[in-house]
Amino acid sequence: MSAALLTGTPLTGRVAVVSGASSGMGAVTAQRLAELGATVIVLARRKDKLDGVVKTIEAAGGTALALAVDVTDRAAVQSAADQVAARFGKADLVFNNAGVQLISGIEELKVDDWQRQIDLNISGLMNVIAAFLPHLTDSAAQGKPADLINTSSIAATRILAKFSIYSGTKAYISHLTRLLRVELGPKMVRVATIEPGMVDTELPDHVTDPDASQLMADLIHDIDCLQSADIAETVAFMAAVPRHVNLTEITMYATRDPRGLAARRRGPRLRPRGRPQRGQLHRLGQARPDQGTRRGGRADDRVRPLQRLVAQQLVELRRLPHVRHRLREDHRQARL
């Protein structure tokens, strides 16, 4: 089923820059933004692929420009920003999306892979912000919509073995976005992050760990995972909403992705860790520790029946085949 929900050309007049636009989410998003009326500038290193994206956009009647840029090169990104300004005026939509995921155990000390991810996912992202932020603030000052949308990942918040460096870079992006909003929101620049789960793109092709590659291939096969078009439509929607609305943090899981379900299942703790402080409410049963003591019993006594109930429900749930499957997936995930 098509992911396209928006109709017409709500992005007419917008000048959009998409980094990491030679493949995957970036390429499809660039095409969708153009379909919806934006002029699109596509950035990445592989010029032939970028030219292909531009050709597709032009064939559909859109306007696009390919600039071959390595975003880890600050001067090159600045030069791209200057070319955009000279040709189309200031950009007012930046999809800061280029990134790489290289998974390995920390003790393998693949320091070159660590550095590559830090250089691209953090420094590259910052280079794009540095070069295009003046475009966005100028556009906003002229009363136009202005969007900085950074690509993070569910890895920013999930605890996944072997994902340490990648997750660290994505956690940086997610938190940076929250912080930037504080400064840029008052200037009417919308700042946002998307945190997708598994999307079917080239990303896993770069992973050298065979277990991780297998897990990703299995997930793509098992969970009817997200497609680049789903991300594209979401980004377009974030840019198309009225100027005073800032959709800030969009987390996207495939509906059947067990990792999303696991995150919810973990939920609140049954009991606070350690001895409850005086006056502190227990989350379950809302029993005050001092009330329990006054009645001659311990506060825990009021919580235990609820714990028993929850435990019984968990046993029941485990009997259901789809829950068993989900737990198995979680264990595989945890072993990674």
Ligand X SMILES: NC(=O)c1ccc[n+]([C@@H]2O[C@H](COP(=O)([O-])OP(=O)(O)OC[C@H]3O[C@@H](n4cnc5c(N)ncnc54)[C@H](OP(=O)(O)O)[C@@H]3O)[C@@H](O)[C@H]2O)c1
Q: What is the set of active-site residues?
A: 166
The residue range among 64-72, 275-283, 296-304, 307-315 that interacts with ligand X, by the rule CB under 6 A, is: 64-72
Q: Distance between CA atoms of 130 and 311, rounded to whole angstroms?
A: 52
Structure tokens at 291: 């009330």
Q: Does 71 contact ligand X by CB under 6 A?
A: yes
Size, binding site for ligand X by CB under 6 A = 30
Strand order in the sheet with 64-68: 64-68, 39-44, 15-19, 93-96, 147-151, 190-196, 249-252
- Closest to ligand X by CB, 196 vs 260, is 196
Closest approach of ligand X to the CB of residue 56, in Å: 15
Closest approach of ligand X to the CB of residue 322, in Å: 23
Q: Distance between CA atoms of 155 and 171, rounded to whole angstroms?
A: 7
Q: List the beta bridge partners of residue 252.
A: 196
Element (DSSP H or E) covering residue 191: strand 190-196
The residue range among 20-28, 137-145, 253-261, 291-299 that interacts with ligand X, by the rule CB under 6 A, is: 20-28
- DSSP per-residue codes, 205-224: GG---HHHHHHHHHHHHHTT
- Closest to ligand X by CB, 15 vs 235, is 235
Instruction: Give the burial class of 19: count Cβ atoms within 10 A of its Cβ; 0-12 exposed, 13-18 middle, 19 or more buried.
Output: buried
- Closest to ligand X by CB, 38 vs 223, is 223
Q: What is the DSSP letter of 280?
A: P
Backbone angles phi and psi of 142, in degrees to 5: -85, 5
Q: Distance between CA atoms of 19 and 29, rounded to whole angstroms?
A: 10
Q: Distance between CA atoms of 117 and 319, rounded to whole angstroms?
A: 42
- Closest to ligand X by CB, 101 vs 139, is 101
Contacting ligand X (CB under 6 A), which of 15, 16, 23, 192? 23
Which residues between 107 and 166 bind ligand X (CB under 6 A)? 120, 124, 151, 153
Contacting ligand X (CB under 6 A), which of 98, 102, 122, 128? 98
- Closest to ligand X by CB, 227 vs 307, is 227
Q: What is the DSSP letter of 199?
A: B
Q: Does 22 contact ligand X by CB under 6 A?
A: yes
Q: Does 100 contact ligand X by CB under 6 A?
A: yes
List, in order, residues 6 or more apart from 75 with CB less than 8 Å away: none
Q: Does 292 contact ligand X by CB under 6 A?
A: no
Q: Does 49 contact ligand X by CB under 6 A?
A: yes
Residues forming contacts to ligand X in the complex (CB under 6 A) are: 19-26, 44-46, 49, 70-72, 97-101, 120, 124, 151, 153, 196, 198-199, 201-203
